[in-house]
Chains A and B, each alone.
Chain A
Amino acid sequence: MSRRRLFHWSLGAITLLVFLFMLAPALVVVAQAFNESPSGNFPITGLTLRWFAALPEDPAIVGAMHTSLALAAWTSVLATLIGTAAAYALARFRFRGRGQVQLFLTVPILVPHIVLGVGLLLAFRMVGLSKSFVLLVAGHVAITLPFVVLTTGHRLQAIPRQIEDAARTLGANRLQAFIAITLPLALPAILTSLLFSFMTSFDEVTATLFWLPPNTETIPSHIMAMLQFSTDPKIHSLSSLLILGSVGVAVMTVLAVRALSTDTQGSRK
């Protein structure tokens, strides 16, 4: 009995340590965001919201935030649309080259972002296109597409084809059957894809550095630039906001998926 208790205690302690190890850097950043001292010394001497207030005053940060949000929005919507359509085709139809298409759509997950970054840039140069917002979006879609295809594909495969067949025999055409039956059942996966590709795009920096048009920064690339040349205390307040945002999105995703989920089989217990 006491051995059992010891086991439980140590398990709890180790879990706590792991969480601490993962969260400590974030906590330090958040703490520093409220530090009155601009040099970021420790221990903290006084509390202030000054560094948060300063964020919207900085045109570079506002510009980078604008770029990042627009980029993530375009990327997530396009990747989710294309990825869901592709996953549907892969899950429902047998066609020549199906295997190759599936491989082609999912393999970028394994390709280092630096390779994607250089590769896409060279490809754009070869056809005479220069760095632009379009290139950025195209690149980010390529990076996030595999996640969408895998997530929604997995869910679509779990929805029995017979359910759609049933809807069609009852008078719905293919599109109506998709909208009335498949879409609601796949919605949790589609929503997850949307938010996940948004976050991935917002966070991506390695490949993005190759694609950024002149005089354009995203939030991650701007933070990197800030770190290189100064110890601007706004780094901490900006990072804190990003942490808050990501945790918020993650929690929202979990809640939304839980609310929308229906067992795809409708099966008996």
Chain B
Amino acid sequence: MSAANVVLRGIEKRYGGVIAVAGIDLSIAAGEFVALLGPSGCGKTTTLRMIAGLEEPTGGDILVNGRRINDIGVHQRNFGMVFQDHALFPHMTAFDNIAFGLKYRKVPRPDIQRKVRQALDIVRLPHVGERLPRELSGGQQQRVALARAIVIDPDLLLFDEPLSALDANLREEMRIELKRIHRTVGITTVFVTHDQGEALSMADRVVLMHDGRIDQEGAPEQLYRSPNTEFAARFFGHVNELGGTATAPGLVRIDDGTLVPASGLNLAPGTPVRLLFRTERARVVPVGPADPSTATVQGTVESSDYMGMMVRYVVDLGGRQVIVTQAVGDRQYRVGEAVCVKIPADAWMTF
């Protein structure tokens, strides 16, 4: 079992005057599962392709176990890669697809047999060896592609949006499956995705990219709970916004006149401030007395969407619409009903 550490040092990529990746510094520990997350065009795929050797960086170094690999060809890097559209060789059986990398490594025939069987077992497809890619389902194709990438015992596994071509249920299943396989084989993994759910649920560490740079990196909870930038805050689901003015340390008067506690906020009185919070941090409650530790803002239910486990309310707070997602609980509020929205003092994000 090989696990390599990878260091990107000021990696950049320009196409003529266009900057795709504007200097990335990143260290990936041996065995770590890192997700490169970001909207399309943020440079995540280009970064991955530079690690693979499929694109040449216009600046910076890539180090694997301390050794600079910029000038090593794709075919000599020993990195397994899984592509968005599985990229199986359509004219070869699943077995031959998986054996492809072993043949270039001059592995003896009996060992090839054994290793391919083993890889097919790992991805839980022991019986599809003789089938052509087009005779496999979408999920099976992606599993074979994964088997093909891990069978070469790579130093690094690279995933380029491998689940985005699959339908929702299958995607969910493959997430769990990929995570399991990562635990089994323990290979250092870099996973590119634009899906925050995928990144948060699978990765040890999420690297959020924006305009060719790293916006923020950290553990999934860290990115979700304490984003450093508004971009990071807004990238993980809907964010509500209220305007207000700081009145005292930890206290803000929002635009409708309500005084709300905001812990950790230390602004000079009179400073205008934008308060952001996530939809699931607030709660819709019946109109009642305010309590000093939690913001309690009066409003009217504008719409309510029943989503099974959860209800999503749009509440009008004196001209500002906010979205609140909460468990159905004992009662559902009707459209037009007067309610209060409670937001805990530590839910606010300000930038």
Interface residues of A (CB under 8 A from B): 160, 162-163, 165-173, 176-177, 180-181, 184-185, 262-269
Contacts and interface: CB of A to CB of B under 8 A. Distances in A.
Interface string B90-127: 11000000001100110000000000000000000000
B52 interface: yes
B75 A262 contact: no
Which 6 residue pairs across A and B have the least CB separation, nearest first? A266-B90, A171-B104, A170-B101, A266-B133, A162-B87, A262-B91
B74 interface: yes
B84 interface: yes
A264 B85 contact: no
B91 A168 contact: no
B80 to A, nearest CB: 7
Interface in B154-195: 158
Nearest to B89: A181
Contacts of B138: 268
A165 B104 CA distance: 15
15 contacts: A162-B84, A162-B87, A165-B87, A166-B81, A169-B80, A170-B101, A170-B104, A172-B100, A173-B75, A181-B89, A184-B91, A185-B90, A265-B90, A266-B88, A268-B136
Interface in B63-94: 73-81, 83-85, 87-91
Question: Which residue, B90, B132, B137, has most C-beta atoms of chain A within 10 A?
Answer: B90
B13 interface: no
A80 B247 CA distance: 80
A269 B132 CA distance: 12
A165 B91 contact: no
Interface in B27-47: none
B148 interface: yes
Given A165-B87, A169-B80, A169-B81, A268 B104 contact: no
A173 B52 contact: no
Contact of A169 (B74, B84, B88): B74
Contact of B87 (A163, A172, A180, A269): A163
